[in-house]
């Protein structure tokens, strides 16, 4: 006789697994698109941050290179490392773009110490909004 299992959470786990697979695929596509367009996106991002007066820089080309390197680095990082980096900003906005969070945290935490930067203006949300307005192009 066959064994009947009535797990009330079975449908929930199927739904949860489907959502996880969809999110993982979206993350992969976003990282892939960021890698493919890193040169263009880093140029746009630096220009936008300068136009919005979020950053004051002494070396714009060097700054573009730093963002390009971060976008390349993102493609090689483990998911845990990305989540660890963006953890302080995770609750900043509803439905955040994890790449925008990563770059925002990079600006707040690491870029401030670069000799290519004179100053950074705005609060975390202002910086995120400026970064996300450019990086939103990689969302599927």
pLDDT of residue 73: 93
Q: How far apart are CA 52 and CA 107, in angstroms?
A: 14
What is the per-residue DSSP string for the chain?
A: -------TTHHHHHHHHHHHHHHHHHHHHHHHHHHHTHHHHHHHHHHHHHHTTSEEES-HHHHHHHHHHHHHHHHHS-HHHHHHHHGGGTTSSSS--HHHHHHHHHHHHTGGG-TTEEEE-S-HHHHHHHHHHHHGGG--
Distance of alpha carbon 75 from alpha carbon 33, whole angstroms: 10
**What band does 139 get if pLDDT is binned at 50, 70 and 90?**
confident
Please give the pLDDT value at position 56.
93
Q: What is the pLDDT of residue 24?
A: 86
Are the C-beta atoms of residues 11 and 116 closer than 8 Å to each other? no
Residue 125 included in any domain: yes
Tell me whether residue 15 is in a domain. Answer: yes
- 85: in domain: yes
Tokens linked to 23: 């999110």
Number of folded domains that form the chain: 1
Residue 4 forms part of a structural domain? no
78-127 pLDDT, tens digit each: 989 999 999 999 899 898 999 999 999 999 999 989 999 999 999 999 99
Does residue 2 form part of some domain? Answer: no
Neighbour-count burial of 89, counting CB atoms closer than 10 A to its CB (0-12 exposed, 13-18 middle, 19+ buried): buried
Q: Is residue 3 part of a domain?
A: no
Q: What are the C-alpha distances in Å from 5 to residues 14, 15, 119, 129?
A: 16, 18, 62, 49
Q: Is residue 71 part of a domain?
A: yes
Domain of 109? 11-138
Residue 54 lies in a domain: yes
């Amino acid at each position: 006789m066959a064994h009947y299992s009535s797990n009330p959470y079975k449908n929930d786990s199927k739904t949860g697994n489907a959502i996880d697979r969809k999110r993982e695929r979206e993350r992969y596509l976003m990282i892939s698109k960021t890698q493919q367009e890193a040169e263009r996106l880093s140029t746009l991002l630096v220009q936008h941050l300068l136009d919005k007066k979020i950053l004051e820089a002494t070396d714009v080309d060097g700054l573009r290179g730093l963002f390009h390197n971060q976008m390349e680095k993102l493609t090689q990082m483990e998911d845990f490392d990305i989540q660890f980096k963006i953890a302080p900003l995770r609750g900043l906005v509803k439905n955040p773009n994890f790449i925008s969070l990563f770059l925002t945290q990079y600006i707040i935490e690491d870029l401030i110490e670069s000799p290519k930067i004179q100053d950074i203006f705005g609060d975390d949300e202002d910086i995120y909004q400026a970064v996300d307005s450019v990086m939103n192009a990689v969302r599927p």
